[in-house]
Structure 1
Amino acid sequence: MTDYTRPLLLGYARRDLYLSDQHVERLKVELTTFAAVEGFAMGSTYVEQRETAPAAFSALVESLNRYELTAVVIPDWRHLALIGEPERVKREFERVTGARFMLYDTP
């Protein structure tokens, strides 16, 4: 159940960086725990498929703008590489959306 008293955090990850869908599901659970520790409620995690990129990223940006959210958690900067050079994507993303990326390092 989502805690609506906390700000909402969205996630973003590339599917091709995980061995299986089971690993992606484990990541989603870990991101939910991370969100709670950081004072957020975890919303959707947008999972990018190499074949359809940047569809998930575009949907993420649309959600951020629609709900005026301020943060997205990613496992590491490589997850942005399908969109472009990660540092450039980060700068442009933050400029356009006003949101920031938070890094979650998987254990």
Structure 2
Amino acid sequence: MTDYTRPLLLGYARRDLYLSDQHVARLKAELTKFAAVEGFAMGSTYVEHRESAPAAFNAMVDSIHRYELTAVVIPDWRHLALIGDPERIKQEFERVTGARFMLYDPGP
């Protein structure tokens, strides 16, 4: 059940960095736990496929604008590399959306 009193957090990940759909499902579950710990409610995780990039990224940006969200969690900076230079993508994303990227750190 989604807690609507918490700000919404979106996720973004590249499918080609995971071995199977089961691994992607596990990531989504981990991101949901991460969101709760960080004080967010987890929304959609946008999964980018190499052959249709940057469709998922663009859909995520549209959602950020539509719902005035402030943050997106990614597993690491490599997940932005399919679109371009991760540092440039990060800067442009933050400038255009006003949202920030958070890195998911599963810890020890």
TM class by smaller structure: over 0.9
Aligned to 2:103: 103
Q: Could you state the TM-score of these two structures normalised by the residue count of structure 2?
A: 0.97
Work out the number of aligned pairs and report it: 107
Cα distance in 2 between the residues matched to 1:38 and 1:106: 12
Unaligned runs of 5+ in 2: none
Q: Could you state the TM-score of these two structures normalised by the residue count of structure 1?
A: 0.98
Partner letter of residue 47 of structure 2? V
Cα distance in 1 between the residues matched to 2:51 and 2:22: 20
Cα distance in 1 between the residues matched to 2:38 and 2:47: 21
Cα distance in 2 between the residues matched to 1:105 and 1:47: 18
Cα distance in 2 between the residues matched to 1:79 and 1:39: 23
Percent of matched pairs sharing the same residue? 86
Cα distance, 1:24 vs structure 2: 0.2
Q: Does 1:42 align with 2:42?
A: yes
Runs (4+) off by over 6 Å: none
Secondary structure of the residue aligned to 2:59 is: helix
Aligned to 1:63: 63
Partner letter of residue 102 of structure 1? M
